[in-house]
Structure 1
Amino acid sequence: MPANLLLWSCIAYLLGSVSFAVLISRLRHLPDPRRLGSGNPGASNMLRLGNRSLALATLIGDLGKGLLAVWLARHAELSLAYQGWVGLAAVCGHVLPIFHRLQGGKGVATAAGVMLILAWPAALLAALVWLLAFYWQRMASLASLLASLSLLPWLAWQAPQLLIPVALMVSLILLRHRVNIGRLINGQETRFKP
């Protein structure tokens, strides 16, 4: 592994390890979101806990750290394939954050930020899939799963050099949604109220 890839992957992991849901909750003297609602420190749980502005701030922060990690790698002149691995490191940081006892989120917003830099048309396609799926079923987990999976055919067609790191990123997101997948199969997944 080239030294510069290792360096930027470590930086990306550390950026990803910053949990905006936890930080925002601490700054606002609110309970830890890992202890309430779904227990997930992400925008959906912040919204579920009833605060739209804090959910939006969490979404922007989590998306921004993925975007920043890959943007830095791009400006360090890493190849597109290496940028994909740096993006995966950022998502790993979000899912297993060293700053928060490895209790992280599901990685969807951070992955969205990564994809906006790596392949913005794929990110827009995934966003469209997310919106349509959420409008259809009112379930953030189902929307996130379908949006993540929608990245793979586009990348296989347009950017095959990204397929392996992004496929691993999608696999990590699927793994983090394993409980949700079980509830979806059993028809017990929670829907957001209109």
Structure 2
Amino acid sequence: MPANLLLWSCIAYLLGSVSFAVLISRLRHLPDPRQLGSRNPGASNMLRLGNRSLALATLLGDLSKGALAVALAWRAGLPLAEQGWVGLAAVCGHVLPIFHRLQGGKGVATAAGVMLVLAWPAALLAALIWLATFYWQRMASLASLLASLSLLPWLAWQAPTLLLPVSLMVGLILLRHRVNIGRLLNGQENRFKP
């Protein structure tokens, strides 16, 4: 692995390890989101816990750290394929954050930020699929799964150099949703109330 890629991947992992749901909850003297609701430190759980403004702040924070990691790698002159690996490192940081005892989120918002910088048309397509699925079924997990999977055909067609790192990123998101997948298959997944 080139030294430059290793350096920016480490920086991306550290950026990804900042959990905005946990930090915002601490700043607002609220319970740790890893102990309530779905126990996931992400925007969906913050919304589930009843605070839209904090959910939005969490979403923007998690999205921004993924985008920043890749933007820094781009600015440092890393080629597109290496920027993809840096993005994967940011998502790994979110999922297994060193600053929060490796108790992280599912990586969807951070991956969205990564994709906004790597391939914004793919990110836009995934966002539209997420919104349409959520509107249709009111399930954040199903929306996230379908949106993540939608990235792969687009990248295979338009940006094959990103296919391997993004496929691993999608695989990590699927792995983090394994409990949700089980509930979806059993027809027991939780829906957001309108």
Smaller-chain TM-score bracket: over 0.9
Shift of 1:27: 0.2
Task: Give the equivalent residue in structure 2 for 1:175.
Answer: 175
What is the rounded CA distance, in whole Å, between the counterparts of 1:138 and 1:42 in structure 2? 17
Q: Deviations over 1:36-89 (max 9, x none)?
A: 000000000000000000000000000000000000000000000000000000
Residue 53 (structure 2) pairs with residue 53 (structure 1)? yes
Give the match for residue 115 of structure 1.
115
Say yes or no: does 1:37 pair with 2:50: no
Q: Distance in 2 between matches of 1:117 and 1:137?
A: 29
Q: What residue in structure 2 maps to residue 160 of structure 1?
A: 160
Gaps of 5+ in 1: none
Provide, for residues 87-125 of structure 1, a one-character-per-residue CA deviation record: whole Å limited to 9, x for no partner.
000000000000000000000000000000000000000
Q: Deviating runs (4+, > 4 A) in structure 1?
A: none
Structure 2 CA distance for aligned equivalents of residues 164 and 131 of structure 1: 26
Shift of 1:185: 0.2
> Using the alignment, how far apart are the partners of 1:38 and 1:8 within structure 2?
32
TM-score w.r.t. length of structure 1: 1.00
TM-score for both structures, normalised by structure 2: 1.00
Q: How does 1:1-194 map to 2 (within 5 A)?
A: 1-194=1-194
Computed over aligned residues only, the root mean square deviation of the Cα atoms, in angstroms, reads 0.2
How far did 1:131 drift? 0.4
Q: Secondary structure at the match of 2:38?
A: coil
Superposed CA offset, 1:120-159 (max 9, x none):
0000000000000001100000000000000000000000
